[in-house]
């Protein structure tokens, strides 16, 4: 087992610019926890720590070899015991392979730019909670499909970035989600803006939303929830209504004619006016949805592009702009700023 984990650790490595030291420390401590060897290729441990870990690994191997001889003597005269032992070995081998493959995906996830919208904790422990790792290992060990491995890789990567993100209960919730419902939820999260989803842009039909509601992932309120645009202006003095995130946003000119009937208040309208300010109806996660959303890819460009496309039904260019934040400049129109 040591040799296979050692081979995988080579492909899982990254250079010094890809992640901060805390993230690396948490990742390799988890690796050591699962595979029983020090990740000395990362250059994180002292020479003494590596020697001690390698000595412990050799001791384990010696004990395993001795136990193997003892068991072999017993099963040589007992075919039924041999069959059971082989089944146990095959199961353990599969669990090991599944966990190792998932850990490689964890490393890839930690380097991914489309990571969940969670801050990386520079403070906090260098290692993760043992009980949580034990439970995660059970789920990862059973992850025989690529999709399942990707799911549990995102879970551990999120926990490595910010310890305490998940609890054992959270892992159980994630494990019990129906795969088809999980795919619907991922589609919904592509249009997520912070902790809400514009009703104008997610693209799911009524039946699909009901499935997510039945799974306790989104709230089903008697009256729709809404988010208002903020009042803003450009450097040229023109007034705009805006919804902005950290990197992207949308803006509607306050002088642009909107295809909205202001004389009638209809709460089901996806874009309407309230107290003279445009608002959009939104969907909100339940507590369970909040947990599952933590492992959904963070795609703000896609989310705001979807919102922009949805708003084009109500206002024409140039009365609406898709915004992108440029360092030392601020938010600019994507169309006019693209070379």
**Contact 241/256 with Cβ under 8 angstroms?**
no
Q: Is residue 215 part of a domain?
A: no
238 and 157 belong to one structural domain? no
What is the four-CA torsion angle of 147, 152, 153, 154, rounded to 10 degrees? 100
Which of 113, 146, 176 terminates a domain? The answer is 176
User: Are 17 and 112 in contact, with CB atoms under 8 Å apart?
Assistant: no
Name which of 20-29, 119-128, 229-238, 300-309 the model is least confident about: 119-128
Confidence of residue 31 (pLDDT cuts 50, 70, 90): confident
In a domain, 13, yes or no: yes
Asked if residue 138 is part of any domain, the answer here is yes
| Residues 172, 302 within the same domain | no
CB within 8 Å of 260: residues ≥ 6 apart:
269, 271, 272, 273, 278, 314
Query: Token pair of 11, please?
Result: 């492909």
For residue 251, report the phi and psi dihedrals to the nearest 5 degrees. -140, 140
Let me know whether 71 and 157 are in one domain.
Answer: yes
Claim to verify: residue 18 and residue 162 sit in the same structural domain: yes
The answer to whether residue 194 is domain-embedded is: no
Across all residues in the chain, what is the average pLDDT? 82
Q: How far is CA 198 from CA 106, 274, 280, 300, in A?
A: 30, 16, 7, 13
User: Do 91 and 153 share a domain, yes or no?
Assistant: yes
284 and 149 in a common domain: no
Does 114 lie in the same domain as 13? yes
Examine residue 201 and state whether it is found in any structural domain, yes or no: no
116, pLDDT greater than 80: no
Domain endpoint, select from 176, 198, 217: 176
Count Cα neighbours of 253 within 13 Å in the Cβ-side half-sphere: 15
Tell me the longest C-alpha to C-alpha distance in the chain.
Answer: 91
Please, which pLDDT band fits residue 13 given cuts at 50, 70 and 90? very low
The reply to whether 270 and 165 lie within a common domain is no
Q: What is the residue range of 27's domain?
A: 2-176
Do 150 and 230 belong together in one domain? no
What's the pLDDT at 170?
A: 92
> Is residue 325 in a domain?
yes
d(CA 332, CA 164): 37
Q: Enumerate helices (H) and strands (E) in the chain, giving the number of each.
A: 12, 9
Q: Does the residue 49 lie in any domain? A: yes
Question: Per the omega criterion (within 30 degrees of 0), is the bond before 318 cis?
Answer: yes
Tell me the torsion sign for CA atoms 272, 245, 116, 29: negative
Phi, psi of 45 (to 5 degrees): -95, 155
**Number of structural domains, the chain?**
2
| Residue 42 shares a structural domain with residue 147 | yes
231 with 288, same domain: the answer is yes
Tell me: the pLDDT tens digits for 177-230?
Answer: 999 999 999 999 999 998 899 999 999 999 999 999 999 999 988 888 999 999
The angle at the Cα of 118, spanning 326 to 286, to the nearest 5 degrees, equals 115
Do 168 and 242 belong together in one domain? no
In a domain, 211, yes or no: no
């Amino acid at each position: 087992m040591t040799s296979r984990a050692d081979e995988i650790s080579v492909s899982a490595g990254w250079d010094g610019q890809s992640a901060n030291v805390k993230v690396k420390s948490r990742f390799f401590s988890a690796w050591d926890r699962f595979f029983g060897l020090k990740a000395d290729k990362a250059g994180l441990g002292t020479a003494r720590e590596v020697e001690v870990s390698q000595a412990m690994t050799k001791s384990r191997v010696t004990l395993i070899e001795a136990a193997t001889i003892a068991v072999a003597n017993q099963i040589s005269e007992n075919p039924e015991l041999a069959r059971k032992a082989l089944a146990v070995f095959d199961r353990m081998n599969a669990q090991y392979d599944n966990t190792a493959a998932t850990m490689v995906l964890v490393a890839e996830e930690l380097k991914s730019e489309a990571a969940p919208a969670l801050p990386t904790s520079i403070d906090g422990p260098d290692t993760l909670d043992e009980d949580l790792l034990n439970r995660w290992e059970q789920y990862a060990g059973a992850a025989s499909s690529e999709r399942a491995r990707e799911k549990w890789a995102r879970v551990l990567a999120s926990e490595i970035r910010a310890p305490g993100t998940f609890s054992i209960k959270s892992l159980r919730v994630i494990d019990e989600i129906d795969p088809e419902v999980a795919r619907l939820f991922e589609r919904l999260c592509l249009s997520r803006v912070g902790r809400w989803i514009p009703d104008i842009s997610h693209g799911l039909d009524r039946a699909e939303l009901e499935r997510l509601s039945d799974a306790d992932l989104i709230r089903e309120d008697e009256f729709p929830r809404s988010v208002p645009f903020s009042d803003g202006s450009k450097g040229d003095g023109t007034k705009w209504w805006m919804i902005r995130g950290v990197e992207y946003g949308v803006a509607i000119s306050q002088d642009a004619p909107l295809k909205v009937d202001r004389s009638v208040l209809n709460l089901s309208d996806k874009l309407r006016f309230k107290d003279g300010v445009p608002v959009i109806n939104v969907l909100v996660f339940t507590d369970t949805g909040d947990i599952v959303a933590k492992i959904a890819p963070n795609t703000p460009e896609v989310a705001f592009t979807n919102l922009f496309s949805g708003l084009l039904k109500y206002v024409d260019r140039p009365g609406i702009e898709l915004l992108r934040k440029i360092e030392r400049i601020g938010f600019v129109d994507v169309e006019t700023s693209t070379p």
